[in-house]
Amino acid sequence: MGRVSLPDKYTTNMSEQLRRPRRNRRTAAIRAMAQETQLSVEHLVQPLFLMPGAGVSLEVASLPGTFRLSLDHLLQEIESCMNLGLRSFIMFPAVPEEHKDKTATYSYDPGNFYLQAARAIKQRFPECCLISDVAMDPYSVDGHDGLVQYGQIDNEATLPILARMGVAQAEADFDMLGPSDMMDGRVAALRRALDAAGYYNTGILSYTAKYASAFYGPFRDALDSAPRDEAGIPKDKKTYQMNPANRREALIEAELDTLEGADMLMVKPALHYLDVIAGIKQHTSLPVAAYHVSGECAMLLAACRNGWLDYEKAMPETLLSIRRAGADVILTYFAKDFAERNHM
Ligand code: PBG
């Protein structure tokens, strides 16, 4: 039968194939020139879990290869990362139960081991970038990021606590603060408090679009920070973390964080929210970060340990995909592994 007639630009019959995309894939050198997205250690942030005491190294059962470390071990870990060119870190504290209370007072206690560790790290490695976590959950008996009052998360009562925590962290020499709590107005509250205390050089990496996700499990195991299962305490974080079904709402959060003075905008989780990363990237001129969270890393590790996937290939492809979606910065538990494999 006769040919279907197509507009001119598509008329390439088999003997006249003018455009051949495979030419740009022919050799490694050509492929490298044509590569649209680059992934290097400069883009990565290594999460670290800090324990009090000395000589402590406890593997997180649900995230093999990730350890909760006391400061002595943590300093060694940072040193080995720095030697690989990996120099950005986000640190979380595993706070002993006896330091937890309703209002997270330990978060700004001058004797706090997390604040002391930050000071020691920045003293020893002034050229590293050290990022904090601003939220109540590691310090809260309720296991929520905000203050629980009458069975609800009280937004306004939480802000001054976060601001006080943030100023204490700036004082401890963190380079950037990472508000992960999702309270309304927290970036502005932090920015104002920091500026008032003279810490106008301390940055804010805001968890802009943080979803109420099932993929934080291993992290909550590591810190023992899951919402406490008790009457009067909300069972989940759905009244502050975002609904996984929503994408446009992330743009509202991005706009607010920008107006409130955030220096970088983060999407979390990363892999299951690549469209959100791409959407925010399109709407902002600020650097965009993505948190490749514990459960997302655990999934890949489980498949690799089972022999179902090849870690050496699946791990870098995963990180590259997050970059391709638009992330300038990736927080991932694989940062050091990547740095080890790409060290020259
Ligand atoms: C809590 C916080 C969480 C993570 C970072 N900060 C857990 C939560 O919101 O319950 C998760 C990170 C990860 O899973 O890797 N402020």
Q: State the pLDDT at residue 4.
A: 64
What rounded mean pLDDT belongs to the chain?
Answer: 95
Q: State the pLDDT at residue 108.
A: 97
CB-CB contact of 294 with 272 (8 Å): no
pTM: 0.94
Atom of ligand 1 nearest to the CA of 225: 10
Q: In the predicted model, what is the mean pLDDT of residues 316-335? A: 98
Domains of the chain as residue ranges with CATH: 39-342 (3.20.20.70)
pLDDT digits (tens, 9 = 90+) for 112-162: 999 999 999 999 999 999 999 999 999 999 999 999 999 999 999 999 999
What is the per-residue DSSP string for 207-276?
Answer: EEEEB--GGGHHHHHHHT-SPP-STTS-SSSTTTSBPTT-SHHHHHHHHHHHHTT-SEEEEESSGGGHHH
Atom of ligand 1 nearest to the CA of 217: 14
Atom of ligand 1 nearest to the CA of 180: 16
Nearest CA to ligand 1 atom 6: 180
Strands 264-268 and 152-154, sheet pairing: unpaired
Question: CA angle, corner 305, sides to 301 and 309, nearest 5?
Answer: 75
Q: What is the b/e burial string over 106-133, where b = at least 16 CB atoms within 10 angstroms of the residue's CB?
A: bbbeeebbbbebbebbbeebeebbbbbb
Tokens of residue 106, six digits? 């330990």
Question: CA angle, corner 300, sides to 37 and 209, nearest 5?
Answer: 60
Q: Report CA-CA distances (Å) from 71 to 93, 99, 199, 218, 331.
A: 11, 18, 25, 21, 21
C-alpha–C-alpha distance, residues 226 and 200, integer Å: 33
**For a substitution probing ligand 1, which of 66, 219, 233 has the most ligand atoms within 8 Å of its CB?**
219
Tell me which DSSP letter residue 140 carries: B
For residue 226, how far is its CA from the centre of ligand 1 (angstroms)?
Answer: 9
For residue 53, how far is its CA from the centre of ligand 1 (angstroms)?
Answer: 23
Ligand 1, residues at Cβ distance < 6 Å? 133, 135, 137, 145, 180, 216, 219-220, 293-294
CB-CB contact of 222 with 194 (8 Å): no
The number of beta carbons lying within 10 Å of the beta carbon of residue 153 is 22
Tell me which DSSP letter residue 290 carries: E
Residue 9 annotated to the active site: no
Choose, from 100, 237, 268, 336, the residue flagged as catalytic. 268
What confidence tier does 223 reach under pLDDT thresholds 50, 70, 90?
Answer: confident
Q: State the pLDDT at residue 12.
A: 56
Q: State the pLDDT at residue 5.
A: 64
What is the percentage of the chain residues whose pLDDT exceeds 90? 90
Choose, from 210, 237, 281, 336, the residue flagged as catalytic. 210
For residue 131, how far is its CA from the centre of ligand 1 (angstroms)?
Answer: 14
CB-CB contact of 222 with 66 (8 Å): yes
Residue 102 annotated to the active site: no
Tokens of residue 235, six digits? 């069972």
